[in-house]
Amino acid sequence: MSVSARPHAVIVPLPAQGHINPMMHLAKKLAREDGFLITFVNTDFIHARIMEAKMNIKSTLQYHVDETSIRLKSIPDGLEPQDSRTSDFPKVLRALENSMAPSLDKLIQEINEKEEYKVTCLIVDLWMQFLLDVAKRHDIPRAALFPGLTATCALRYNSPTLVSSNLLPSNGVPEENKMVKYLPFLPPLYSAHLPWLHGGKTESELLFELGQRTTAKMKDMEWTLFNSFYDLEAPVIDEFSKQVGVLPIGPLIPPQFLHGDLDQKRTVNNTGLWTEELECLDWLDRQSPCSVIYVSFGSFAMFNARQLEELALGLEATQKPFLWVVRNDLMDGKTVALPSGFTERIKDRGCLVSWAPQLSVLSHPSVACFITHCGWNSTLESISMGVPMICWPYFADQFLDRTYIVEVWKIGLALNTNEDGLIPKDEIAAAVKRLISEEEGGEIKKRVTKLKGNCRAAVKEGESSYNNYKLFVNAMKRK
C-alpha cells in the first residue's frame, strides 16, 4: 500500500465501557491487519477517564495503543460537568445527539485540511447513528457497529410490528409480566425482561422510543456490523438479514486470546475506564487448574447492602477459591462494606480487586466458571475462552443474553431470587457446586467448549466472520 493511499477511519463509540471495548478491538484490527490509520473519538469526559487509568502505574504495562496507527481524540458530549453520565441514559443520548455532530464535522474538516492522511471512512456505534450524516457531508463510506446480541437488535427493530400486532402496548411497557413469544426466530421472553425496560415507566418509554428510532435507521444503512458470529445466532441472522443488512464480524477479541499466544496475554489491554490490578494474574498462577470462581458484574451493576452480604457469604460457602471484582461503587454508589470478618476468613482463597484484566482472567487455566451480569462483552468473551457462566443479569439486554446462555446454548445456569427479591447465599453456593462438581456442569462445559471452537473458527480465513469483515474493509477502502 502506498503512503498516499493509506485509509483513515474515524471511529466513534457510545460513551460507555461496554461499547468502547469492542470499538477499540475493531480499531486495532483495522490498524493491525489492513493498515488503517485510526482516529478514535471519545467524549471529553470519557477521554479524561481513560487518560487517568492510563497514567496509573498499575496499568502502564498493560495499556497499549499504537499511537502511530491509533490516535485518541475527544469532543464535548453536550452535558454540564456536574451531570451524571450513567444514571439517565435517555438524557445522555439526547445531549449527544444535539451536540456531537458539529464537533465531529469540525474535527474531520481540520484533519482533512491539516494532516497528510485525509479521513476516508466513518464508523460509529449504532446508538450514535445520528453522526452518520457527517459522513454524507464529507462523501466518505460509513458503517455502524451494534456491540450486543444480534437478537436484541432484531427485537428492537421489530418493535413497531409487535405494537401493531398487539404483542406490545404503544409505549412499549407491558402492564403485566408474562412469557411471550415475541418473534418466531427468538426464544420466549418474560415481558418484564424486554431490553428497554429500565428504571421507571417514563424512562422505559423513552428508551423504547430511542431504540425504535435508532434501529429504524438501519433500513438506510449499507453496512451494519455485529459483534457476533453466524454459528452462534444462525436462526436470528438468517431471518433478520431478510429485513436489513446484518454483517456479523465477531468475536472482536485480540488475536492472541483466540490463537493461544500466551506470552502476549499479559501485555495487551482494552482502552478502559478503570485501572486493572494485574497482581490478580499472579494469584491465579498459584491456583489449581479449573478451580477458581471469577466474579464480575461489569461497569454499571450495583447492589444494596443485603444483596452484597449474601453474595459475599455465598462465595465463602462454596469453599472454592474466587477472584471477585469489587468496584468502589458496587454498593449503590456507596463505599463497599463487606460482612464482618469476611476478608480475614477468606484471605487464603479469595482475591478481591477493583478491576481485572478480564480476557487474561478468563483465558487462565485456573478459572472454572464465571459469575456474570451477562453483559454482551462478558458473555462473548466467556464463550471465546470456553468458560461456563452463572447468570446474574442486572438490567436491559442482559436478561435476553441470559435466556440465550441458559436456555438456547445451555452453557450456563440461572440464579433465582427468593421471596424478598434477593439471590441468597445458598443459591449461589448450590449453583457453583452444580457447575464445578456435578455431572450437569460437565455437560455444560462440553457445550461451551464446542462453542469456543466455533467462535475461533469463525474468524479464520475463508470462514463467516472473516469473509464479512473483508467485505466491510473493502467497502471502507472503496475497492
Collapsing DSSP states into helix, strand and coil, what is residue 214?
A: helix
Please give the Cα distance from 17 to 15 (Å, whole number). 7
Amino acid identity of residue 269, one-letter, is: N
Amino acid identity of residue 318, one-letter, is: T
Among candidate residues 8, 19, 364, 373, the one labeled active-site is 19
Among candidate residues 450, 386, 461, the one with its CA nearest the CA of residue 33: 461
Answer yes or no: 193 catalytic.
no
Please give the Cα distance from 366 to 169 (Å, whole number). 48
Angle formed at CA 101 by CA 115 and CA 272, multiple of 5 degrees: 75
CA max distance for the chain = 66
| Residue 226 phi, psi dihedral angles, 5° rounding | -130, 135
C-beta of residue 390 within 8 angstroms of C-beta of residue 369: yes
Collapsing DSSP states into helix, strand and coil, what is residue 389?
A: strand
**In the block, residue with C-alpha cell 477468606:** 346
Answer yes or no: 47 catalytic.
no
Please give the Cα distance from 101 to 107 (Å, whole number). 10
Among candidate residues 8, 77, 125, 193, the one labeled active-site is 125
Q: What is the DSSP string of 446-469?
A: HHHHHHHHHHHHHTSTTSHHHHHH
Instruction: Indicate left, alpha or beta for 169 from its phi (over 0: left) and psi (-120 to 50: alpha).
Output: beta
C-beta of residue 210 within 8 angstroms of C-beta of residue 93: yes
Tell me the catalytic residues: 19, 125
